[in-house]
Amino acid sequence: MKQINLYETIFKRKSMRRYDLTPLNKNTLAEISAYMRTLKPIDDNITTEMKILSQKDVKNLPTLKAPHYIAVFSENKEGYLTNAGFMLQQMDLFFSANDIGSCWIGMTKPTEKTLSTSKLEFVILLAFGKPIEIESLYRESTSEFNRKSLEQISNITNANELLEPAGLAPSSGNNQPWFFTGGDGIIHAYCVKSITIMYKRMHMIDMGIAMCHLWIAAKHFGKKVEFINDIAAQNNPPEGYYYIVSLNVK
Ligand SMILES: Cc1cc2nc3c(=O)[nH]c(=O)nc-3n(C[C@H](O)[C@H](O)[C@H](O)COP(=O)(O)O)c2cc1C
């Protein structure tokens, strides 16, 4: 596999739902496993585990059949869903950068037998495999992304180079539950309040995905980045939103 530029991949990736069901070869799977061990968390105090599964290890797949899946398991701790989203999005971009298709799957889960192989809580799946047509793997321009405008996702006016990649992040049902405030070296991330527990869970994963894009963009522009919990930002959420985390960008 080629070396990766995750930043560039942000501007062309898309979800892949039609796969060549032939399994990837052993070398490719070994390289994927090796990369999986290098993923960065938001919070390294949260224990996580990732497993590569095949179709037989996953329940009810009427529409989205892929040769492989990554299942993320995590310790259930403050911020664990966002942390898992952050980590697994690094894999989504890694796949795309290497001409492998992938798609987040929130609608199903591993079989009971597979679930019992981890002591940690199952969080989410990412399907992956060779696309049926390689052309269908990428978008040609950002105009092909169906996303909210920057004004809809933030009131920061001088950080478009970070906010645009965050806004291109995939999210469950393309809901884009994020809003960003701050500026001058700090970005506070908020999540829209959800009606159901299921939505809330998915939105927290989505927030980690957007934070991953923000973090990759900040690093791309040579910034020193650090995740922090900002009490003032936490106590002042925009109406209808709640606080997730802040990114110090210096
Ligand atoms: C947490 C999460 C769960 C998702 N679950 C599903 C799913 O169950 N089935 C599906 O077809 N797509 C699923 N998606 C993919 C989204 O529908 C997709 O990312 C969104 O529509 C934006 O499109 P794009 O990824 O092509 O940019 C999920 C995405 C996320 C982030």
Tokens linked to 14: 């898309």
- Whether 4 shows a pLDDT value over 90: the answer reads no
Query: Would you state the pLDDT for residue 163?
Result: 98
Average pLDDT, the chain: 95
pLDDT in tens, 52-70: 999 999 997 667 899 999 9
Using the structure block, give the residue that is written with the tokens 């990732």.
Answer: 50
Atom 6 of ligand 1: nearest residue by CA position? 105
Tokens linked to 98: 């290497």
For ligand 1, what atom is nearest to the CA of residue 205? Answer: 1
For ligand 1, what atom is nearest to the CA of residue 107? Answer: 8
Using the structure block, give the residue that is written with the tokens 């596999």.
Answer: 1
Distance 196 CA to ligand 1 centre (A): 18
Q: How confident is the model at residue 136 (pLDDT cuts 50, 70, 90)?
A: confident
Q: How confident is the model at residue 131 (pLDDT cuts 50, 70, 90)?
A: very high
Distance 214 CA to ligand 1 centre (A): 19
Amino acid at 246: S
- In CATH terms, the superfamily for domain 6-137 is NADH Oxidase (3.40.109.10)
How many other CB atoms sit within 10 Å of the CB of residue 207? 26
Atom 29 of ligand 1: nearest residue by CA position? 172
Pocket lining for ligand 1, CB < 6 angstroms: 14-15, 17, 64, 103-107, 124, 145, 170-174, 202, 205-206, 209
In the chain, residues under CATH classification 3.40.109.10 are 6-137
Q: What CATH number should be reported for the domain whose range is 146-249?
A: 3.40.109.30
In the chain, residues under CATH classification 3.40.109.30 are 146-249
How many other CB atoms sit within 10 Å of the CB of residue 34? 10
Query: Would you state the pLDDT for residue 57?
Result: 95
Q: Is 60 left (phi over 0), alpha (psi -120 to 50) or beta?
A: left
Tokens linked to 58: 């996953």
